[in-house]
Structure 1
Amino acid sequence: MAEIWGKERIRWLVFVGLITSMLSALMVQLAVWLPAAPSWEGQKAYAAVLEANLRVTIAGMVAYLISQYHDVWAFHFWKRKTASRHLWLRNNLSTAVSQLLDTVVFIIIAFYGVVSELLGLMLGQYLVKLLVAVADTPVVYGLVRLIRRGPQERSHSYIKGEPRLG
């Protein structure tokens, strides 16, 4: 997205994502705070599960903010350094560090004092995120190409008398 729409628009999307997460967390808390139906006997377990979700939600929001703002900054840093070339490099470098930040911040806030082996959790989660980041590189190239072609070219890939685009 940063390749197409730029730093400021993506920062706005990060902010919208944060607001969406906060509203979701509020809805979960409202579900716990509201009185249960008289026939419901599982309110105590329901509340225990959802209240534990608040710490995970907060961890997710903090990690999301830090990692996404870093990712936007890093992507544009590498874009300047590579003179807007090597999208694969910019995408993977910015994502690799951002996902490391996301993983470390999330695991510490969500599980510190609850789980004894934080380093193992961090390593496993980060490796999966790193593999996904590398694997999504062809998808990023395809989406950037599709978006840059514009709606006219996507809907009319052949105009009589003109060569096909793509």
Structure 2
Amino acid sequence: MGDSTAGNNLIRTKNAIFASSGSPYFSTVLTLMGAVVILSNIGASKGVSFGPLITDGGFFLFPLAYILGDVISEVYGLKAARRSILVTFILAFFAVFCFWIMIQLPAAEFYDGQEALERTLGPIWQIVVASACGFLVGQFANSWVLVKLKERSGERGLILRLIGSSGVGEFLDTLIFCAIAAPVIGIADVPSFINYVVVGFIYKTAVEILFVPVTSMVIKWFKKREPGYSQAAVES
């Protein structure tokens, strides 16, 4: 059973220490996470190929959402991670609703981009459904695995739990997203779909692993600046 230490804004659960999500740092990471997911959903409406490799236009952004998710899970805990995932989920659908309104508004006579606007933002809702389903399952799995590993090892083993949780989360996310999004971006045959899933999973996981040193540094930066975190970690 966990307990909250109000004096230093820390939350303890078993062997793990987490900062309070009431911190201003948490809101900053949450804002960045929402922006990354919305932009990646827009980019994902474009099919992209690098020779035989097939992906989408949001491929370079979405791994950042998982990196930010790792920061939230490691520093602020599972409850804060769930809140951030749900808030980001709602923001993504709000963005789609706004895009729909923009498309439905009557175009001025001098505006000649209506067709391009509809073509670019029109199918976004399908991409968002794919992204949201994958994001919910993948991020929840990623956060759950990371936090449970932290509860077993405390502050030790950060790199291993970042890699392990990322692998589980990215696989589930990629599989669900690709299954829904593939027809939207024009992937209709099984070999191309398998290519899409495999490339997406390997790429996203590889990016996260590549950025593990950076993610670790960012996490340590947050821990040092959260009231009482460093001292509590030493005492535990």
C-alpha distance in structure 1 between counterparts of 2:223 and 2:182, whole Å:
42
Is 1:125–2:125 an aligned residue pair?
Answer: no
Q: Indicate the residue corresponding to 2:176 in structure 1.
A: 105
Q: Which runs of 5+ in 1 are unaligned?
A: 153-166
Where is the strand percentage greater, Structure 1 or Structure 2? 2
Equivalent residue, structure 2, for 1:64: 135
Q: Does 1:21 align with 2:92?
A: yes
Distance 2:80 2:117 in 1: 39
AA of the residue aligned to 2:221: L
User: How far off its partner does 1:59 sit?
Assistant: 0.9
Pairwise CA distance, 1:83: 4.7
Query: Which of residues 87, 103, 123 is equivalent to 2:158?
Result: 87
- Determine which structure has the larger helix proportion and give its number: 1
**Measured at CA, do residues 146 and 41 of structure 1 come closer, stay the same or move farther in structure 2, by a change above 3 Å?**
closer
- Is 1:134–2:209 an aligned residue pair? yes
Corresponding letter in the other structure for 1:37: A
Bigger Cα Rg:
1
| CA distance, structure 2, for counterparts of residue 61 and residue 16 of structure 1 | 11
Structure with bigger RCO (C-alpha 8 Å, 6+ apart) = 2
| Amino-acid identity (%) | 22
**Structure 2 CA distance for partners of 1:74 and 1:25, relative to 1, 3 Å:** same
Q: Please give the alpha-carbon distance, in whole angstroms, between the structure 1 residues aligned to 2:162 and 2:123.
A: 34
Counterparts of 1:43 and 1:151, CA distance in 2? 48
1:60 and 1:45 map into 2 onto residues whose CA distance is: 22
Do residues 51 (structure 1) and 155 (structure 2) align?
Answer: no
Match of 2:102 in 1: 31
TM-score (norm 2): 0.59
Deviations 1:56-85 (A, max 9, x none): 122111111111111111112222343552
Q: Provide structure 2 residue ranges, at least 5 long, that are not aligned to the other structure.
A: 1-71, 228-236
Q: How much has 1:50 moved relative to structure 2?
A: 2.0
Q: How many residues align?
A: 153
Following the alignment from structure 2 to structure 1, what is the Cα–Cα distance between the partners of residues 132 and 99? 14
Residue in 2 aligned with 1:10? 81
TM-score, L = length of structure 1? 0.82
- Which whole-Å CA distance do the structure 1 matches of 2:176 and 2:226 have between them? 39
Q: Quick one: distance in 2 between partners of 1:42 and 1:134?
A: 41
List per-residue Cα deviations over 1:17-55 (Å, max 9, x = no partner): 111111111111111111111233442343233222221
Pick one of 218, 221, 227 that aligns with 1:143: 218
**Separation (CA, whole Å) in 1 of partners of 2:194 and 2:76:** 36
For residues 139 and 41 of structure 1, what CA distance do their matches in structure 2 show? 44
CA RMSD in angstroms comes to: 2.1
Q: Which region of structure 1 is more displaced relative to structure 2, 140-149 or 57-66?
A: 140-149
